[in-house]
A = this chain, B = another copy of it.
């Protein structure tokens, strides 16, 4: 019944009648050990259910802990979940484990998480920076050799490696696809906050596509939302304008859900849609959803790979890796633009 203490090296040593160091040697395959000793030690380890205390080991060895600290906005978001999985798979063979937290895009929570991870002496720190967060405090750690990687968005106050999607080009291509099918009034439904890097980049891509086609930028066609529900409402508002858009561009996967749900609810199939970021069942919708797909897996992989390179001592200057997006035309972008020239 007593919650007995976990066995230690010393306990094992005592059981065998040998010194702690000898047990350590056997377990770490350090130095030599007679076959007999080895067997006895292993037996005692099994008998006592001994598991070395990794924290104690790390303390003594002095090196960083074999963990990678990862801060993302939300594990429940399939995009970031996929990124996390790719990172995990890439670092696993190096023996690194994931220490993870959701910031909910709150700079305070992000900071609490990074501080926590630093205090745990992670080997690598990867962050999807929140709007309003400052990363100057990470500078000294980076200089001391800690690989710090910004994911999906650039950080503030620290020049370090970052891996982002080709947001601007991707958005441009998606909007250009709509324009190519005759649309001139194209709504943009973006993320919040307005200062969010990805939102700004994608809006910039949207604008550049309009510019190319000499379509004037109309602020009333730009709406914002922060979750699926508000995206649905924003969609309804856009379509209620006196001179409504004939096509919509979704700034991310959540916005896409909102647009699609709202159009389905009101049974409107006449609105063309292109979404940034692929979503499940896009091909089963009617019409099937055309998207500018991000490559979550490659994004995670690239981040993990460059982090491992840094861990191995590469000291070249900060790199920015851009993961290409891909336009997948499935139909929704080709809804005819009514009255284009009627």
**Interface residues in chain A, defined as those with a beta carbon under 8 Å from any beta carbon in chain B:** 3-6, 49, 51-56, 58-59, 65, 67, 74-78, 81-82, 84-85, 88-89, 97-102, 113, 115-116, 118-121, 137, 140, 143-145, 257, 260-261, 263-265, 279-281, 283-286, 288, 296
Q: Does B257 contact A283, Cβ atoms closer than 8 Å?
A: no
What are the residues of chain B within 8 A of A137 when measuring CB–CB?
A: 49
Q: Does B281 contact A53, Cβ atoms closer than 8 Å?
A: no
Q: Does A84 contact B75, Cβ atoms closer than 8 Å?
A: yes
User: Whole-angstrom distance from the CB of A82 to the nearest CB of chain B?
Assistant: 4
Q: What is the CA–CA distance of A156 and B5 in the complex, to the nearest angstrom?
A: 25
User: Whole-angstrom distance from the CB of A168 to the nearest CB of chain B?
Assistant: 26
Q: Does A101 contact B98, Cβ atoms closer than 8 Å?
A: yes
Picked from B3, B59, B78, B140, the residue with its CB within 8 Å of the CB of A145 is B3
What are the residues of chain B within 8 A of A56 when measuring CB–CB?
A: 55, 59
Q: Does A115 contact B51, Cβ atoms closer than 8 Å?
A: yes
Picked from B3, B49, B88, B118, the residue with its CB within 8 Å of the CB of A51 is B118
Copies of this chain present: 2
Q: What is the CA–CA distance of A112 and B299 in the complex, to the nearest angstrom?
A: 26
Q: Does A98 contact B99, Cβ atoms closer than 8 Å?
A: yes
Q: What is the CA–CA distance of A273 and B337 in the complex, to the nearest angstrom?
A: 34
Q: Which 5 A-B pairs have the closest CB atoms?
A: A264-B284, A76-B85, A3-B145, A81-B81, A55-B55
Q: Does A284 contact B283, Cβ atoms closer than 8 Å?
A: no
What are the residues of chain B within 8 A of A296 when measuring CB–CB?
A: 76
What are the residues of chain B within 8 A of A55 when measuring CB–CB?
A: 55-56, 58-59, 65, 120-121
Q: Does A280 contact B257, Cβ atoms closer than 8 Å?
A: yes
Q: What is the CA–CA distance of A288 and B260 in the complex, to the nearest angstrom?
A: 12
Picked from B49, B97, B257, B281, the residue with its CB within 8 Å of the CB of A116 is B97
| Minimal Cβ-Cβ distance residue in B for A78 | B78
Q: What is the CA–CA distance of A264 and B119 in the complex, to the nearest angstrom?
A: 51
Other A-B pairs beyond A49-B140, A98-B101, 14, CB < 8 Å: A3-B143, A3-B144, A3-B145, A54-B116, A55-B58, A55-B120, A55-B121, A78-B280, A89-B102, A98-B100, A260-B284, A261-B281, A284-B285, A286-B286
Q: Does B102 contact A88, Cβ atoms closer than 8 Å?
A: yes
Picked from B6, B53, B260, B283, the residue with its CB within 8 Å of the CB of A144 is B6
Picked from B59, B88, B120, B281, the residue with its CB within 8 Å of the CB of A281 is B281
Q: What is the CA–CA distance of A286 and B281 in the complex, to the nearest angstrom?
A: 12
Q: Does A59 contact B53, Cβ atoms closer than 8 Å?
A: yes
User: Whole-angstrom distance from the CB of A235 to the nearest CB of chain B?
Assistant: 12
Q: Does A119 contact B75, Cβ atoms closer than 8 Å?
A: no
